[in-house]
A and B are shown apart, each in its own frame.
Chain A
Amino acid sequence: MDNREVLVDIKNLRTFFYTEDGVVPAVDGIDLTIHRGEVLGLVGESGCGKSVTALSILRLIPNPPGKIIGGEIFFHGEDLLKKNEEAMRMIRGDKISMIFQEPMTSLNPVYTIGNQISEAITLHQKIDDAEAKKRTIEMLHLVGIPEPERRFNQYPHEMSGGMRQRVMIAMALSSNPELLISDEATTALDVTIQAQILDLMRGLQKKLGMAILIITHNLAVVAEMAETIAIAYAGKIVESATAKEIFKSPRHPYTYGLLQSIPKFTERKTNEPLPAIEGMVPSPYHMPKGCRFNPRCPFATEKCREEEPEILELTPGHLVRCFHPIES
Chain B
Amino acid sequence: MAEKAIEAKKKGQKKSSEDYTYVGMVFHRLTRHKLAMVGAFMLIFILLFVFAGPLIWRADPNAQIEGLGGMFNLPSRAHPMGTDDYGRDVLARMFFGGRISLFIGFISAISSTIVGAMVGLVAGYYGGWADNILMRFTDAMLSIPTFPLLIALASVLGKGVWQIILVIVFFGWMVDARLVRGLVLSLKEQEYVEAAHAIGASANRIMWRHLFPNTLAVLIVSTTIGIGGAIIYEASISFLGFGVQAPFASWGNMLQNAQQFIWNSPRLIIFPGLAIFLTVLGFNFFGDGLRDAIDPKLKL
Interface size on A, residues (CB 8 A): 32
Q: Is the CB of B210 within 8 A of A108?
A: yes
Interface code B185-203, partner A: CB below 8 Å = 1, 0 otherwise?
0000011101111111110
Instruction: Pick from B190, B197, B199 the residue with the most CB of A within 10 Å.
Output: B199
Residues of B within 8 A of A93 (CB): 198-201
Q: Is the CB of B200 within 8 A of A92?
A: yes
Interface code A105-116, partner B: CB below 8 Å = 1, 0 otherwise?
111111100000
Q: Is the CB of A123 within 8 A of B214?
A: no
CB-based nearest A residue for B189:
A62
Q: Is the CB of A60 within 8 A of B194?
A: yes
B1 interfacial contact with A, CB 8 Å = yes
Residues of A within 8 A of B214 (CB): 108-110
Residues of A within 8 A of B198 (CB): 58, 60, 92-93, 97-98, 100, 172
Whole-angstrom CA separation of A262 from B198 in the bound complex: 33
Q: Is the CB of A100 within 8 A of B194?
A: yes
Interface residues on B, range: 20 to 34
Q: Is the CB of B1 within 8 A of A107?
A: no
Q: Is the CB of A92 within 8 A of B197?
A: yes
A197 interfacial contact with B, CB 8 Å = no
With beta carbons under 8 angstroms apart, the residue of B5, B128, B191, B200 that contacts A157 is B5
Interface code A80-114, partner B: CB below 8 Å = 1, 0 otherwise?
00000000011111100110111011111111000
B160 interfacial contact with A, CB 8 Å = no
Q: Is the CB of B195 within 8 A of A106?
A: yes
Q: Is the CB of B201 within 8 A of A106?
A: no
A124 interfacial contact with B, CB 8 Å = yes
Q: Is the CB of B190 within 8 A of A124?
A: no
Whole-angstrom CA separation of A97 from B197 in the bound complex: 10
Question: 8 Å CB contacts to A: which residues of B132-171?
Answer: none
Residues of A within 8 A of B210 (CB): 108
Whole-angstrom CA separation of A171 from B200 in the bound complex: 12
Residues of A within 8 A of B199 (CB): 92-93, 97, 119-120, 123, 171-172
Residues of A within 8 A of B201 (CB): 89, 93, 119, 123
A155 interfacial contact with B, CB 8 Å = yes
Question: 8 Å CB contacts to A: which residues of B1-43?
Answer: 1-3, 5-6
B213 interfacial contact with A, CB 8 Å = yes
CB-based nearest A residue for B188:
A62
Q: Is the CB of A168 within 8 A of B200?
A: no
Residues of A within 8 A of B213 (CB): 108, 110-111
CB-based nearest A residue for B1:
A109
Residues of B within 8 A of A105 (CB): 190-192
User: Quick one: given A108-B210, A156-B2, are A91 and B196 in contact (CB under 8 Å)?
Assistant: no
User: Quick one: given A156-B2, A157-B5, are A106 and B200 in contact (CB under 8 Å)?
Assistant: no
A64 interfacial contact with B, CB 8 Å = yes
Whole-angstrom CA separation of A110 from B202 in the bound complex: 19
With beta carbons under 8 angstroms apart, the residue of B5, B128, B195, B200 that contacts A123 is B200
Q: Is the CB of B3 within 8 A of A157?
A: yes
CB-based nearest A residue for B21:
A155
- Nearest CB of B to A294, in Å: 35
User: Quick one: given A105-B191, A157-B6, are A124 and B196 in contact (CB under 8 Å)?
Assistant: no
Q: Is the CB of B195 within 8 A of A110?
A: no
Residues of B within 8 A of A100 (CB): 191, 194-195, 198
With beta carbons under 8 angstroms apart, the residue of A91, A104, A155 that contacts B200 is A91
Q: Is the CB of B1 within 8 A of A110?
A: yes
CB-based nearest A residue for B18:
A158
- Nearest CB of A to B128, in Å: 7
Q: Is the CB of B194 within 8 A of A89?
A: no
Residues of A within 8 A of B195 (CB): 98, 100, 106-107, 168, 171
Whole-angstrom CA separation of A125 from B200 in the bound complex: 12
Q: Is the CB of B2 within 8 A of A157?
A: yes
Q: Is the CB of B191 within 8 A of A102?
A: yes
Whole-angstrom CA separation of A58 from B202 in the bound complex: 14
- Nearest CB of A to B74, in Å: 56
Whole-angstrom CA separation of A158 from B141 in the bound complex: 43
Instruction: Pick from A89, A110, A120, A123 the residue with the most CB of B within 10 Å.
Output: A110
Q: Is the CB of A106 within 8 A of B197?
A: no
Whole-angstrom CA separation of A298 from B288 in the bound complex: 64
Whole-angstrom CA separation of A92 from B198 in the bound complex: 5
Provide 17 A-B residue pairs closer than 8 Å at the C-beta atoms, listed in order of the A residue: A60-B198, A89-B200, A89-B201, A93-B199, A93-B200, A97-B198, A100-B191, A100-B195, A104-B3, A106-B195, A107-B192, A108-B192, A108-B196, A109-B1, A155-B2, A156-B2, A172-B198
Q: A89-B202, A98-B198, A109-B214 are in contact. List 18 more A-B contacts (CB 8 A).
A: A58-B197, A58-B198, A60-B194, A90-B200, A92-B200, A106-B191, A106-B194, A106-B195, A107-B195, A108-B192, A108-B210, A109-B5, A110-B1, A110-B214, A123-B200, A124-B200, A157-B5, A168-B195
Using CB atoms and an 8 Å cutoff, list the residues of chain B in contact with chain A. Answer: 1-3, 5-6, 128, 190-192, 194-202, 209-210, 213-214
